[in-house]
């Protein structure tokens, strides 16, 4: 079995992050501690090549940032916040994308490990997470964004409340037949929570969920395909809540192509308030995800962990508050 940073830390009875910093030449570790770590690393024959890279201390100020899709404008404000805070704190941000592919995600995480990044901010695919556990065992702190993993620090949205906000808003416009468009991805917990929030709100009003359209992904093209479900629905919803703004854009775009008027024939609520949602063909009413705050909370939490030698770190979970942004994609059915 290869010797890991965690094993060195156990022998020295210190935090793995202390060992990682000592091997990377970080100034946050005392000379005495560094010498002791290097001595034990030699004795345990810890990964000679990677150890040699660490000794030059060239990458201990790099933060790896991995998102699912750089084409998705959702990430623009989040990444900007990470850069805005990392730079004055003397950290460089190395950005990459998994393209929703767990194999690619694992390859990039392994690349981060070999680079000896100081820490990682990740929007994970979640098909599996063993590679993330191994990275933390090597002393690299991880902050998960826009998802929740119980064992890791995470920054996410109160997605149940998102669904409730959308539901209450549409009910206030007198809509009673409300549908939901979603990917149906088994690992997309946020969309299930948003749907549950909508269902709970309808139930409190004495109503049931009308229709759910599962379209395979959360892309514009998937939103376009949802129009076909709406058209063949024997009693089509008067309002649709989309799991994200890309779905809403696709739905609206295809509806207009087919002569369906928005919001006259069907009202649409999106989610996230991504850039351009306010200037779309029909400006989209949406539930806003505070994306800049998401990035800011993530990088601040990561820097805090890097600066504190925590012997027994307990995972931190932060939930951000959603808010409804009213634009022009919904109409009232009140007469």
CA 195 to chain centre: 18
- Cβ partners under 8 Å of residue 175, min gap 6: 237, 238, 239, 267, 333
According to the model, what pLDDT value does residue 45 have?
81
Torsion-angle region of residue 334: left (phi > 0), alpha (psi -120 to 50) or beta?
beta
The H-or-E segment that residue 63 falls in is strand 62-67
According to the model, what pLDDT value does residue 54 have?
44
Contact 278, 64 (CB under 8 A): no
The two three-digit tokens of residue 102, written as one number: 């767990």
The two three-digit tokens of residue 63, written as one number: 């933060």
- Max CA separation in the chain (angstroms): 81
Contact 186, 222 (CB under 8 A): no
According to the model, what pLDDT value does residue 309 have?
65
Which regions of the chain are under pLDDT 50?
Answer: 48-58
Contact 41, 51 (CB under 8 A): yes
CATH, domain range 1-58: 1.10.260.40
Rounded distance, CA 331 to CA 262, Å? 9
The two three-digit tokens of residue 307, written as one number: 């600066």
Domains 1-58 and 159-290 share a fold: no
According to the model, what pLDDT value does residue 210 have?
86
Residue spans of the domains in the chain: they are 1-58, 159-290
Q: Does domain 159-290 have CATH number 3.40.50.2300?
A: yes
According to the model, what pLDDT value does residue 308 have?
81
The two three-digit tokens of residue 127, written as one number: 């098909």
According to the model, what pLDDT value does residue 220 have?
97
- What value, to the nearest 5°, has the Cα angle with vertex 203 and ends 197 and 205? 110
**pTM higher than the cut 0.85:** no
The two three-digit tokens of residue 88, written as one number: 């004055």
């Amino acid at each position: 079995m290869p010797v890991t940073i965690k094993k060195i830390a156990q022998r020295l009875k210190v935090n793995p992050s202390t060992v990682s910093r000592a091997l990377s030449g970080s100034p946050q570790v005392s000379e005495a501690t560094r010498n002791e770590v290097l001595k034990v690393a030699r004795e345990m024959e810890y990964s000679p090549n990677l150890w040699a890279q660490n000794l030059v201390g060239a990458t201990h100020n790099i933060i790896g940032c991995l998102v699912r899709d750089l084409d998705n404008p959702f990430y623009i404000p989040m990444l900007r916040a990470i850069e805005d805070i990392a730079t004055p704190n003397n950290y460089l941000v190395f950005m990459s994308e998994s393209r929703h592919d767990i194999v690619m995600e694992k390859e990039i995480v392994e690349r981060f490990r070999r680079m000896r990044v100081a820490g990682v901010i990740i929007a994970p695919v979640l098909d599996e997470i063993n590679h993330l556990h191994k990275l933390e065992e090597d002393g690299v702190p991880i902050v998960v964004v826009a998802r929740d993993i119980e064992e890791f620090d995470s920054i996410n949205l109160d997605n149940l409340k998102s669904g409730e906000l959308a539901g209450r808003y549409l009910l206030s416009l007198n809509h009673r037949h409300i549908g939901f468009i979603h990917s149906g991805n088994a690992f997309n917990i946020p969309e299930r929570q948003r749907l549950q929030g909508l269902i709970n709100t309808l139930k409190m009003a004495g109503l049931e969920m009308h229709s759910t359209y599962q379209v395979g992904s959360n892309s514009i093209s998937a939103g376009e395909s949802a129009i076909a479900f709406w058209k063949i629905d024997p009693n089509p919803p008067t309002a649709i809540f989309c799991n994200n703004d890309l779905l809403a854009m696709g739905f609206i775009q295809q509806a207009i192509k087919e002569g369906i008027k928005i919001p006259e024939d069907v009202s649409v609520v999106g989610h996230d308030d991504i850039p351009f949602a306010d200037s779309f063909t029909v400006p989209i009413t949406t539930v806003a995800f505070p994306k800049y705050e998401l990035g800011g909370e993530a990088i601040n939490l990561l820097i805090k962990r890097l600066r504190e030698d925590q012997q027994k770190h307990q995972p931190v979970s932060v939930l951000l508050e959603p808010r409804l942004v009213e634009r022009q994609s919904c109409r009232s059915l009140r007469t």
